[in-house]
Structure 1
Amino acid sequence: MKLGCFSISLAVKDLQVSKAFYEKIGFHVYAGEASHGFLIMKNGDTNIGLFQGMFDKNMLTFNPGWNQSAEGLASFDDVRQLREQLKAQGLEIAQESINADKGPGSFTVIDPDGNPILFDQHV
C-alpha cells in the first residue's frame, strides 16, 4: 500500500500560539492559510498540520499522490483503492468524502485506541 505523504494533524486552540511554539523547535510554515484556520509546518522531511476549529482530535494523516514535500507522485494508490483495500481487511470507514471516480477525496478510519487516521488525497 502506497500511502503518500505522512503528517500529524494537530487540533490547536490558538493557531498563532501553536505556530510560535513550533517555530521555536525548528519548524517553518510551508503551506496553508492562517485566515482559513490552518498552517502546514515543516522541519526537514517532518510535516505537521496545525488546525484551529476543524478537528476535535489530533490525527495521523496520509496524502496519497504526494511525497513529503507535497509534490505529485507519478505512481500512487488512489484513495478509492486504499478505502477498498482497508474495507476488505475488515476495517470500518468512520467518515468519507469521495464524490467522483478520480481526483480528490478523503476517508477516515479509527485505530483500536480511538485515534483517527485520515487519508486525504488532493490530486
Structure 2
Amino acid sequence: MELGAFSVSLSVKDIKKSKAFYEELGFQTLGGDLAQNWLIMKNGSTVIGLFQGMFEKNILTFNPGWNQNAENLDSFTDIRDLQKHLKEQGVKILTEADESSEGPASFTIEDPDGNPILVDQHR
C-alpha cells in the first residue's frame, strides 16, 4: 500500500518562533502561508508542517499523489481506494473521505496508542 509523501504535522504555539527554530536546524520553507499560520518545511528528505491553532495534537501525515517535494506523481493510489482497503482490514476510520467523490479528499485514523494519522490527497 503506497500512502504517498510522509511528513509530521506539528501543532505549534507560535509559528514565527517555530519557523526560526527549524531554520536553525537547516529546514527551509517548501510551502504554506505564514499569514494563515501554516508552513511546510523541508531539510533533505525530511518534511514537517507547522500549524498554529489548527490541531490539538501532532499528526502523522501522508499525501497520496505527491512525492517528498510536494510534486505530483504520475501514478498513485487514490485516497478512496486506500480508505476502502483499510476498512476491509478492520481499521477504524475516524473521519471519512466521500467514496463517491473524486479529487481532493482526506480521512483520519489513529494508531493503537492514539496517535492521529491524516491521509490527505490534494488532487
1:60 maps to which residue? 60
1:41 maps to which residue? 41
In structure 1, distance between residues paired with 2:99 and 2:92: 19
Partner deviation per Cα, 1:37-91 (whole Å, 9 max, x = no partner): 1000000111000000110000100000000011111111100001011111101
Partner deviation per Cα, 1:77-112 (whole Å, 9 max, x = no partner): 100001011111101111134375210000000000
Q: Letter of the 2:78 partner, please give it.
A: D
In structure 2, distance between residues paired with 1:81 and 1:33: 30
1:89 maps to which residue? 89
5+ residue gaps in structure 2? Answer: none
Moved over 4 A (4+): none
5+ residue gaps in structure 1? Answer: none
Shift of 1:122: 0.1
Percent identical across equivalent pairs?
A: 61
3-state SS, counterpart of residue 2 of structure 2: coil
Q: Letter of the 1:109 partner, please give it.
A: I
Q: Letter of the 2:59 partner, please give it.
A: M
2:75 maps to which residue? 75
- Worse overlay, 75-84 or 89-98: 89-98
Q: CA RMSD in A?
A: 1.1
TM-score, scaled to structure 2: 0.96
